[in-house]
Every structure is written in structure tokens, then in C-alpha cells.
Amino acid sequence: NFSISKVLSSTINSSFSKPQNALLAKTMASSKLLLTFFQFTLVLSVLGLANAYSLKLDYYKKSCPSAKHIAKAITKNFIPGHQGCDGSVLLNSTKNNKAERDAYPNLSLRGFQKKKCPGVVSCADILALVAREAVSQIGGPFWLVPLGRRDGRVSTASAATANLPSFAFNITQLKASFASKGLSDKDLVVLSGGHTIGIAHCDAFSDRLYNFNRRGGTDPTMDQNYIDALKKKCPPGDSTTLVEMDPGSHRTFDAHYYTLVSKRRGLLQSDAALLKDSATNAYVQLQATTAGSTFMEDFAKSMAKMGKIGVLTGSSGEIRKQCSTIN
């Protein structure tokens, strides 16, 4: 569960679309709002690094001047967010192909249809804009989103499974996964902060409560009082109950996530893993003790960087008329 945990599965709605769309498998973002950006991070990068030099801030100035306004207005109504730089995560499965959206890490994802500028504004750009608006409208930072992405024609469940970091990854696995997409260790710990608005199903972390490392018992790295509280919400086998990743602050984009992680109250194993590396641990402690002094600025930079991963431009791909099907 973006699985950058199950990240960036996210819920997304677009005015170019109809309400409904979910971010990353099992880590839905706040009040069905946002993904774990941590997961969403790699839903984005399923295709690997690509040329992003053709992106422009005013790309739709003539062809669809209302594009940014629509994304902002609709997001204000539904506040969701998710990303996939070539929009391949939105494609439906076909008789002969199981698409990314039906891979385990993306099971809560929902598609949407465009109402404005079909075939002009790409689904990939819609996702990039909505992700930015979803964050900024709930107290997070604003960053510039260059546009001009094109939509991919290929979407496979196996690619999603292979590219999305697991919520159960240790720090070595997480660092390697991010590095393979051109993201640094700092990007890893910064984007993990997107869990400040995350919600997860119990089965995303139940092993930490009842069967850690398949040996029974609890995860010794998790605060015992937190374990006791989670057990009251999530009995063994529960796969439907939702738990806030940032209790008491899950509807506001802030740095409180780092305070919880520093107290060994990170919900997912991938959250707890940030304390196992000197650099990522140092960043956690910095934000926890300074009320997120640099977090907003850092998050904006990492998101802008991530938004250039796996981009298709020029004559590559297509501009879909409907986001769930290839033209």
C-alpha cells in the first residue's frame, strides 16, 4: 500500500471527471481523500525515468485555457489526489491484459472520465494538477506543475507490482526502490511525510500487531501503548476497518507525521523503517523537534521532482479522450 505503500493507491476526482477515484491500495488518503503519497510516489514512476524537457507551465494556454482552473475547482469539492505520470494506472483491464489498476497495490483505485477538453488535456496532466491542488488546499505547499505529458498505452498489473515499494519494505529496500527511480534518500523521507493525511486498512499493518516476521507476537520497534490501541480497532483478520495514519491530524497536511514516527508510532513498517537509517532518522527528528521547519519546502521540491518521472512527451503515447480506455 504505497504500496509508496499500497503511494502513492490514491483517490482522485476531476472535473474533467466524475467523483470517485482512489489512490493507492489500502492506504486511502484522508476521508477518501488522498493517497499515501509514499505509495503514490511510485505509481508515478512505473515506467522509469524519461525525458521531461518538453513540459511547459503554459502548455494548454491556447488549446484548453481553463484546464488549471477546472482542476483547482473540482479538487476543492472533492479533495483527492493521486498520480501516475503517464496515466497508465487509470486504464481498464482488457480480456487479454490485467491492467495496473487491478494489481494488488491499486485495488482501491477508481477511474474517471473527462467532461472538458477530451483529447486535448492528457489524463497524466490532470493527475499531476489534482495531486498539487489536493495537497495545497488542505494546508500543504504549492508547487509549479509543468504540463505537456502524454498518456501511455500500456498498463500491466505486473509492472505495478514490480515497481511499487511495499509497505512492509525495510529501509534498505526502500532506499533501493527510490534510487531506481532517480529519487534520493531525502526524497524518500520527505515523501513519506505524505502519510500525514493517510488512512490504511488494518491488514496493511496487522502483522506488526499479531504475527511480526511470521513468528507471532508484536513488532518490538512499535510503541506498546500504540499497539494496544490499534488492537482495539483491528482484531485479527480484519481487512475492512480504516485507521488514521496521523491520528488527530489526518485531515490537515502538516509535519505531525514525523512526531509520531519519532515516538515509534509510525503505522506502517515502511514508516518505522525511517528510523533505521542515520540520514532519514535525522530528518525525522529535525521535523519532529522544529514543527516541520523545512518540510513544506522540501515536500514541494520532491513532488516537483517526482512529477517528471516516467513522463511521455512529443509523439510518444497519446492524449486520451477517456482516461480509462486507449483511444
- Reading phi first (left if > 0) and then psi (alpha if -120 to 50, else beta), residue 220 is in alpha
- The answer to whether 82 is a known catalytic residue is yes
246 is in an annotated binding site: yes
Torsion of Cα atoms, 183 then 184 then 189 then 194, to 10°:
-20
133 is in an annotated binding site: no
196 is in an annotated binding site: yes
Angle, alpha carbons 301-306-308 (nearest 5°): 110
318 is in an annotated binding site: no
Angle, alpha carbons 101-89-151 (nearest 5°): 150
Cα–Cα dist 193/252, whole Å: 12
Secondary structure (DSSP) of 227-256:
HHHHHHH--TT--S-EEESSTT-TTS-SSH
Cα–Cα dist 35/41, whole Å: 9
Task: Evaluate whether 30 touches 250 at the Cβ level (below 8 Å).
Answer: yes
Which DSSP symbol is given to 295?
Answer: H
297 is in an annotated binding site: no
Cα–Cα dist 327/318, whole Å: 8
Amino acid at 157: A
Cα–Cα dist 318/312, whole Å: 9
88 is in an annotated binding site: yes
Cα–Cα dist 128/229, whole Å: 36
Set 69, 82, 250, 256: catalytic member: 82
216 is in an annotated binding site: no
Q: Which DSSP helix (H) or strand (E) runs through 305?
A: helix 295-306
Q: Give the residue ranges of the annotated binding site.
A: 84, 86, 88, 100, 165, 195-196, 246, 254
Residues tagged in the binding site annotation for Ca(2+): 84, 86, 88, 100, 196, 246, 254
- Would you list which residues are annotated within the binding site for substrate? 165
Binding site listing for heme b: 195
**Among all residues, which ones are annotated catalytic?**
82
